[in-house]
A and B are shown apart, each in its own frame.
Chain A
């Protein structure tokens, strides 16, 4: 019986808080998706829960409100609490102790349960708050990483929970960039595009989606090379008529990742035209087909060095 009680306590005080932390932290950044060993889980659970546990104890013992809320207990004194826990522990340990006075045991058990319920309520709340704080801090690594204290905290605590693919495949470290990937597939075809999403299975990359994908026309390039020309590699990328190209990880031989400045401009006029056609569909009869053209910024002496903060419109 005592072993069962200890298992319940272990679940309530270590395993559930770790799960709460993981879920809430995962709102900010993807947590590693692999099954931890028991030692790993226990070690991390203790690391996560120690501070909220101490705070919850202090709150339940000394804070005027939480001292008796939720699950209030009448005559909630330190002495009474100790007596109740002694009675419960003795009753769980020995059947003879339990049989001596079941009514006393059940009274003490109910009060202990209410006290534990109160402690756990505050404890879970504090774990959730801790996860919110850690998640918020972890998601701002690029901003705070020069701070030594932050870096220490990040190395010791924050990054244990972040997927190793996150900094590789997202602009986590350089928020003003986008991730461009050259993906060499197992069939020897090279693709290029901007990483828009990736998927993990048991901590390993299982798939990746590239936006605005292109395929390298290697055969045409080699032919041009054999013909004695000096072909420019950039001219041999063929745009794939797909907005999102999905790769399964087992078809990827290797991947070259680079962080390039994010363009806030229009990269694909055809997509914009389609979007506008949908947006102005009710006016299609009056307006006819909508076309979009994009001109690069015309630098003028007055505009040089001036940075636009957002789209501004001008009417012809």
Chain B
């Protein structure tokens, strides 16, 4: 394991969020935001087949 300072900082910041999820959310931010605004929910599948659902409290209640 090559422990560089930047890698360590990244590790501390990312916590337990899988890298693919981070990349996915960052590259689909607008899609996710509009779906949450319009429908209050956004679903997608993880690489291992898990279904992940994000719900927005206010939009879902509206």
A230 at the interface (CB under 8 A from B): no
A13-21, A98-106, A192-200, A214-222: which lies at the B interface?
A192-200
5 A-B residue pairings within 8 Å (CB atoms): A197-B11, A209-B11, A265-B46, A288-B59, A289-B56
With contacts A292-B52, A293-B55, A297-B50 taken as known, whether A311 is within 8 angstroms of B24 at the C-beta atoms is: yes
> Smallest distance from the beta carbon of B58 to chain A beta carbons, Å?
3
- A residues near B55, Cβ cutoff 8 Å: 290-293
Q: Which residue of A lies closest to B17 (CB)?
A: A275
Are A198 and B1 in contact, with the CB atoms below 8 A?
A: yes
Selected contact of B56 from candidates A26, A209, A288, A315, CB within 8 Å: A288
> Smallest distance from the beta carbon of B16 to chain A beta carbons, Å?
4
- A residues near B2, Cβ cutoff 8 Å: 26-30
CB within 8 Å of A: which B36-62 residues = 36-37, 39, 41-59, 61
> Smallest distance from the beta carbon of A85 to chain B beta carbons, Å?
43
Selected contact of B50 from candidates A30, A169, A279, A294, CB within 8 Å: A294
**The 8 nearest A-B residue pairs measured at CB:** A297-B49, A288-B58, A288-B57, A313-B44, A268-B16, A287-B56, A243-B15, A271-B16
> Smallest distance from the beta carbon of A255 to chain B beta carbons, Å?
15
Are A274 and B59 in contact, with the CB atoms below 8 A?
A: no
Greatest chain A CB density within 10 A among B16, B43, B53 is at B16
- B residues near A147, Cβ cutoff 8 Å: none
CB within 8 Å of A: which B17-45 residues = 17-18, 20-22, 24-26, 28-29, 31-33, 35-37, 39, 41-45
Selected contact of B37 from candidates A275, A287, A310, A311, CB within 8 Å: A287
Are A279 and B25 in contact, with the CB atoms below 8 A?
A: yes
- B residues near A287, Cβ cutoff 8 Å: 33, 36-37, 56-59
* B binding-site residues for A, Cβ under 8 Å: 1-3, 7-8, 11-12, 15-18, 20-22, 24-26, 28-29, 31-33, 35-37, 39, 41-59, 61
Q: Mark A196-215, 1 if CB is under 8 A from B, else 0.
A: 11110000000001011000
Are A313 and B51 in contact, with the CB atoms below 8 A?
A: no
- B residues near A211, Cβ cutoff 8 Å: 16
Selected contact of B47 from candidates A286, A291, A298, A309, CB within 8 Å: A309
Are B1 and A30 in contact, with the CB atoms below 8 A?
A: yes
- A residues near B8, Cβ cutoff 8 Å: 197
CA distance A293 to B53 in the complex (A): 5
Are A212 and B48 in contact, with the CB atoms below 8 A?
A: no
